[in-house]
Amino acid sequence: MASKTAQKRLTKEFMTMQREPPPFVWAVPDEKNILTWNYLIRGPPDSSYAGGEYYGVLLFPAEYPFKPPGIKMYTPSGRFQPDKKICFSMSDFHPGTWNPAWSVATILTGLLSFMLSDEMTTGSVNSSDTHKRTLASKSHSFNVSQARFREAFPDVSRCSLGTNDIPSLIVLIG
């Protein structure tokens, strides 16, 4: 159960993300538990992930924003092991480097940046750009086969997204 501080902060962050979504990332809290957020990262153009969509969850502790979230990605990406916690500076693997001023938008922007790097860590895998591009082309089909994804992003689940559909995606889930 979320503390009052976590509840208030996460509600505020959700409203902010709806008004001002950062590039290539979207997130919505689970309807039954505000401590679990579903996120969607679109692969930026000019990257090995172009045209891909990557679904995962942020698992916030009741003490958020004073403790960092756990982070998982479910969609095969060639960068992270599906359904395994990802270790990076903004995750619960590194509570000592956590900054309570960071937000959901900051965390997801950081995750996208980390995804675009080649740094190896717990939860990451090494694969070729060709493999990443192949997985990107299959990502939407994979996501819509997942009940959790369809529940979190029903409008996205009903459409077929192309590389240039990012503004449409904002409208669909915003």
Catalytic amino acids?
87
Question: Integer distance in angstroms from the first to the last C-alpha of the chain?
Answer: 26
Task: Give backbone dihedrals phi and psi of 154, rounded to 5 degrees, phi first.
Answer: -60, -40
Rounded-to-integer distance, Cα 23 and Cα 111, Å: 12
Q: What is the DSSP letter of 166?
A: H
CA angle 169, 7, 109 (to 5 degrees): 40
Q: Classify burial at 6, counting beta carbons within 10 Å of its beta carbon; exposed 0-12, middle 13-18, buried 19 or more.
A: buried
Rounded-to-integer distance, Cα 10 and Cα 101, Å: 12
CA angle 82, 57, 20 (to 5 degrees): 130
Contacts of 164 (CB under 8 A, 6+ apart): none
